[in-house]
């Protein structure tokens, strides 16, 4: 059931959470499937509802002002600076966990991902529940993250008893994840908070990716995927591409030739707006039951890097446009 957050529904949500049940919650990035972060039964339920493999650890969400040393054994100076600068906000820090953080939350890893969401509904619920909430994106494993309450229901149906409707997510792309457990800072997942902003506070961070499990699940090669096969175009958009039937296009701007199968991320060419609309547009494009979708990368700066990362992971390969045809690369 989708409900408007007010005192009564927030209490109801907190009650469900105390019983080990799950609740759909809005955050500034994407909607989360929240459960009691320290209750193994609730954590198991999250994995079951999402059909998520157990090697994929969860992020613990904490209220503003929370003392994270309750959850972690060490907070490096750089991590403290980042929390001071960006929390509440779209930044997840991976830190060494305390033994009482359940292994189910961290998939057996010695570290835990923690974030403080910047959304009044999430914060209100955390305050009433008075403990930490595990909240992965509220989609079935591998699918597009939901950025509206309706998208949560579309993804998870009746498996979630309550979804708090906090409106469309302002950022629309998951949090940026920084791993702080390796003696230096490493970008584990590009996200809504620009890496450049992070670096302006703590200096250069490592961007190399560590391969092999356990890796950020959002970093799996195929993730965030629509049902319709999506290809990444290595050719720039041309209006003539829309002449072929059955193709849909996801791109920054259509450039003055509107077409019913062209899905425009931001008519102003604004990357923040594009990020906020990306997953919803992918859902709308998916609902058209087209033969395939062609996505065009956006400028790779700021949040554009995270948008391109998601497009690439949603895609089944790349294509080029040659002599009026799409050719697989
Ligand atoms: O914006 C977000 O972060 C959203 C909202 C709901 O807060 N949540 C989200 O959760 O994106 P999820 O479960 O879809 O992605 C969690 C990511 C995973 O890719 C996981 O690998 C990474 O966080 N992660 C969690 N704990 C980790 C750890 N100990 N080490 C490395 N990566 C970790
Ligand atoms: Mg996810």
Sequential DSSP letters for 189-248: E--SS-HHHHHHHH---B-PPPPSSS--GGGSSS-SB-SS-EEEESS---GGGGGSTTEE
pLDDT tens for 172-204 read 999 999 999 999 999 999 999 999 999 999 999
CA distance 252 to 237: 10
Q: CB atoms < 10 A from the CB of 235, how many?
A: 15
Q: Which residue intervals of the chain are DSSP H helices?
A: 7-18, 40-50, 77-86, 103-106, 120-129, 149-156, 195-202, 271-287, 304-314
pLDDT at residue 260, as a whole number:
85
CB-ligand 1 contact for 109 (6 Å cutoff): yes
pTM for this predicted structure: 0.93
Whether residue 279 contacts residue 30, with contact meaning beta carbons closer than 8 Å, is answered with: yes
Q: Which ligand is nearest to the CA of 175?
A: 1
Q: Are 269 and 253 in contact (CB under 8 A)?
A: yes
- Structural tokens at position 309: 């990362």
Structure tokens at 246: 């059955």
Confidence of residue 212 (pLDDT cuts 50, 70, 90): very low
* Interval between CA 221 and ligand 2 midpoint (Å): 13
Q: Which residues of 82-119 are buried (b: 16+ CB within 10 A; e: fewer)?
A: bbeebbbbbbbbbbbbeeebbebbbbebebbbbbbbbb
In whole angstroms, how far apart are CA 311 and each of 49, 66, 122, 251? 25, 34, 27, 10
Q: How far apart are CA 192 and CA 309, in angstroms?
A: 11
pLDDT (mean) for 41-64: 95
- Average pLDDT over the chain reads 94
Residue 43 has pLDDT above 70, yes or no: yes
> What is residue 197's predicted lDDT score, i.e. its pLDDT?
97
32 with 138: CB under 8 angstroms? yes
The answer to whether residue 258 scores a pLDDT higher than 80 is: no
Does ligand 1 come within 6 angstroms of the Cβ of 59?
Answer: yes
- The pLDDT score that the predictor gives to residue 214 is 45
Binding site membership of 188 for ligand 1 (Cβ less than 6 Å): yes
Taking the centre of ligand 1 as the mean of its atom positions, its distance from the CA of residue 104, in whole angstroms, is 13
State residue 255's pLDDT score. 75
211, pLDDT greater than 80: no
Which of 24-28, 54-58, 258-262 shows the lowest mean pLDDT across its residues?
258-262
Helix axes 149-156, 271-287, angle to 10 degrees: 40
Cα separation, 33 vs 120, in Å, equals 16
User: Given this model, what pLDDT does residue 225 score?
Assistant: 86
Ligand minimally distant from the alpha carbon of residue 122: 1
**Which atom of ligand 1 lies nearest, measured to the CA of 219?**
19
Among 59, 134, 171, say which to mutate for ligand 1: greatest number of ligand atoms within 8 Å of CB: 59
Q: Is 94 in the pocket of ligand 1 (CB under 6 A)?
A: yes
What does each C-alpha distance from 40 to 20, 52, 224, 277 come to in angstroms? Answer: 9, 15, 26, 34
Tokens of 284: 């709308």
* Residue 5 beta carbon below 6 angstroms from any ligand 1 atom: no
Q: Say if residue 217's pLDDT is above 60.
A: no
The proportion of the chain whose per-residue pLDDT surpasses 90, expressed as a percent, equals 90
pLDDT surpassing 50 at residue 152:
yes
Percent of the chain at pLDDT > 70 equals 95
pLDDT tens-digit readout, 81-106: 999 999 999 999 999 999 999 999 99
Please work out whether the CB of residue 30 comes within 6 Å of at least one atom of ligand 1. Answer: yes
- The answer to whether residue 213 scores a pLDDT higher than 50 is no
Instruction: Name the one residue in this structure whose structure tokens are 């708090």.
Output: 164
Crossing angle (nearest 10°) for helices 120-129 and 7-18:
50
Residue 182's SS3 state is: coil
State how far the Cα of 152 lies from the Cα of 155, in Å rounded to an integer.
5
Q: Would you say residue 223 has pLDDT above 90?
A: no
Can you say whether residue 106 is alpha, beta or left, with left for phi > 0 and alpha for psi between -120 and 50 degrees? alpha
For residue 113, report the distance from its CA to the centre of ligand 1, in Å: 7
């Amino acid at each position: 059931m989708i409900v408007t957050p007010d005192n009564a529904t927030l209490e109801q949500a907190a009650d469900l959470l105390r019983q080990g049940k799950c609740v759909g919650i809005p955050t500034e990035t994407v909607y989360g499937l929240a459960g009691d972060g320290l209750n193994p039964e609730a954590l198991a339920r999250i994995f079951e509802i999402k059909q998520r493999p157990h090697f994929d650890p969860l992020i613990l969400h904490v209220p503003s002002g929370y003392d994270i040393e309750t959850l972690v054994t060490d907070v490096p100076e750089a991590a403290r600076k980042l929390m001071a600068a960006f929390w509440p906000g779209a930044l997840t820090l991976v830190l060494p966990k305390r033994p009482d953080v359940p292994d189910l939350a961290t998939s057996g890893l010695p570290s835990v991902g923690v974030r403080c969401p910047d959304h009044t509904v999430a914060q209100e619920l955390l305050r009433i529940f008075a403990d930490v909430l595990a909240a992965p994106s509220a989609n079935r494993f591998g699918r597009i993250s939901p950025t509206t309450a309706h998208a949560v229901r579309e993804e998870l149906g009746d498996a979630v008893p309550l979804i708090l409707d906090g409106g469309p997510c302002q950022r629309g792309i998951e949090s940026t994840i920084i791993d702080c457990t390796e003696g230096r800072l490493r970008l584990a997942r590009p996200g809504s908070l620009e890496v450049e902003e992070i670096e302006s506070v703590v200096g250069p961070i490592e961007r190399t990716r560590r391969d092999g499990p356990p890796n950020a699940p959002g970093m799996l090669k195929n993730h965030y995927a629509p049902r319709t096969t999506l290809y990444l175009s290595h050719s720039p958009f041309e209006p003539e591409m829309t002449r072929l039937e059955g193709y849909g296009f996801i791109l920054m701007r259509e450039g003055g030739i509107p077409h019913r199968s062209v899905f425009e991320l931001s008519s102003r060419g604004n990357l923040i707006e594009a990020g906020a609309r990306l997953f919803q547009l992918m859902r709308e494009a998916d609902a058209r039951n087209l033969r395939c979708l062609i996505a065009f990368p956006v400028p790779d700066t700021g949040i554009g890097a995270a948008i391109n990362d998601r497009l690439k992971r949603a895609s089944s390969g790349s294509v080029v446009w040659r002599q009026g045809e799409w050719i697989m690369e």
